[in-house]
Chains A and B, each alone.
Chain A
């Protein structure tokens, strides 16, 4: 018996095991929403803006590994998710995004709320298609879920014209699809992996560089077992943080632009860099000619196109991190690395990661309190200085997780992503670490959090500035604070070099803002107040709590490597 497209849509979601969908209605998707209204198997979350919506779906997907599902209308609904698609594409997050489209006959007419969303998003989706035939709908949805989560995960966009939603057609939803142009690699070339392993065995100063691929593949345990057996030190990218527990004796720290001194020195001095699941982003490598200059490089990655793109590698291995590590574990043998480890410890002792403690409440102190008060949690950051401090000072173990916008660096990501993570993990603590700039980019999601009862603890580090850019202006642009002070008004002096008593008040008042949404707000000005604030936040189980930390305006993220410089040239103080 034939059924409508809208009925097949909901049937498909159920067969894919979708329990939550992030949706914002509009003219071209009213039929799909009407169908969702009739089912109680799927939790429909209504955000307050489509950008918030897609970041929420990302938070859901990043925290569970499951596909995040979005449903938005055509035109502005669709264009508002573009930033999130790019974000998910960069960080390999599985999303399936459904967009409504004007009826087939109106496409190309500049109809009301018509945009060519598939065309616009071609370079930032793994796959995208407009369904032009009712009989293709089932296969298109099946393809979307399969492509989004297989191989290197990513976002898929399915654009459904309004008349396809109401047209009758086959009720069949395929249980698998065969796509002749898409065969994600599943195994590993054992010969090639053996070459890589042999190279590692001959090394005197081996180093493992773990990227986000370890976390995506959930290969953390295997990596830990492997390095413990071999006794090889580990550095991570920001996306790879947590690949092994951060308190592990073999863990050095993050490398890259704001990495730890010892981690960047280890990369500069190692003789074999055994990298897994990273694409050697410029924030990791700095000057490519000076990157790991003494090392032979092994690169294991599921994405062939990531291999030898930025850094030419000696042994490429195309494989899922989990599959490769499983094989490596079979071969692993103990290795003595005392001298090399000693050297690394010396570097670490000479320049440990630490902020001054004599200027009041520092971001490091806040992170330390989070580590103590909210262990085994999901930490979600926005983008900016606070993000770097979080990636430097948060401790992660097998029961905790860091979610951050690593590739695209999307301000406004953190808070909605935290809401999505909380919706997916109602029994876990979710701590959102954000800044006063990025938080305001999706501040409207306060309403979503309150209505969903998502009691996220928001640690908002307020320094009155867009701090990361302000830091660059301070260090490299003669303190010309162009458009980075969030208190600045037309009456301010044009050449302001920093805050004074005459500064206008900050807006908004985050505590009162929280209250206006029916949430909670606490302002913390000194370290002694942190513990009390956290205890208070934990009591609030029905709505989020904003804890506004008034931190020093002049705080810098250090160490720092200037963009394009070699990683060994770190600004330390």
Chain B
């Protein structure tokens, strides 16, 4: 068996009732390891594009792509695993119960990590983060170490093939 690794798929589907359920149902029904799934309409409102990440070996991944291709509602399956991508995730982190020193520290982290402080209270701040999933994982790990009370809202990654630049 080949190694388990994280892989990406872009999926063009009919923008219809039940298609999201059908696609996500495939992953549970066949015990595929779905890590994130985001969906939104494209310039053509009758078509949605999904960005899906899965953790799997080569054989299972091939099977996942074939199974998705079988679905009548799936228009196109694109394997993004070895493609140069632009990839971003939307994430909000709210940090609460901060004393003054911690508040300063939160601002410093935000600056260093290139995320924005978009809201603030007497003892709390909210960070708006638009980096990669990977960077967000690092940021969450750091914030968890530094602060007692953080709450995270993640949107899952959206990926698109880059036009020219190498940017992962």
Contacts and interface: CB of A to CB of B under 8 A. Distances in A.
A244 B67 CA distance: 31
Interface residues of A, number: 21
B25 A180 contact: no
Contacts of A181: 13-14, 71-76
Interface string B13-35: 11011100110011001000000
A118 B62 CA distance: 27
Interface string B59-90: 10011001101111111100000000000000
A304 B21 contact: no
B23 to A, nearest CB: 10
Q: Which of A127, A179, A304, A308 has the most CB of B within 10 A?
A: A304
B21 A119 contact: yes
Contacts of B59: 308, 312
Interface residues of B, number: 23
A122 interface: yes
Nearest to B62: A308
Given A122-B22, A130-B17, A303 B70 contact: yes
Given A308-B62, A312-B59, A118 B18 contact: yes
B114 to A, nearest CB: 39
Contacts of B70: 303-305
Interface in A316-336: none
Interface string B115-154: 0000000000000000000000000000000000000000
A132 interface: yes
A312 B71 CA distance: 23
B74 to A, nearest CB: 5
A39 B26 CA distance: 41
A122 B21 CA distance: 9
Q: Which of A307, A309, A312 has the most CB of B within 10 A?
A: A309
A126 interface: yes
A130 B16 CA distance: 11
Contacts of B25: 122-123
B78 to A, nearest CB: 14
B151 to A, nearest CB: 32
Given A304-B69, A305-B66, A180 B17 contact: no
A214 interface: no
Given A132-B17, A305-B66, A305-B70, A123 B75 contact: no
Contacts of A303: 70
A130 B19 CA distance: 12
Contacts of B66: 304-305, 307
Contact of A305 (B17, B21, B67, B73): B67
A118 B76 CA distance: 23
Contact of B72 (A119, A147, A309): A147
Contacts of B18: 118-119, 122, 129
A112 interface: no
A182 interface: yes
Contacts of B75: 180-181
Contacts of A304: 66, 69-70
B10 to A, nearest CB: 15
Given A119-B18, A122-B21, 12 more contacts: A122-B18, A122-B25, A123-B29, A126-B72, A129-B16, A129-B18, A181-B14, A304-B69, A307-B66, A308-B59, A308-B62, A308-B63
Interface of B: 13-14, 16-18, 21-22, 25-26, 29, 59, 62-63, 66-67, 69-76
20 contacts: A118-B18, A119-B21, A122-B22, A123-B25, A129-B18, A130-B17, A147-B72, A179-B72, A180-B75, A181-B13, A181-B71, A181-B73, A181-B75, A181-B76, A182-B72, A305-B63, A305-B66, A305-B69, A305-B70, A308-B62
Sorted from nearest, which 4 A-B pairs have the closest CB atoms? A305-B66, A181-B75, A127-B72, A182-B72
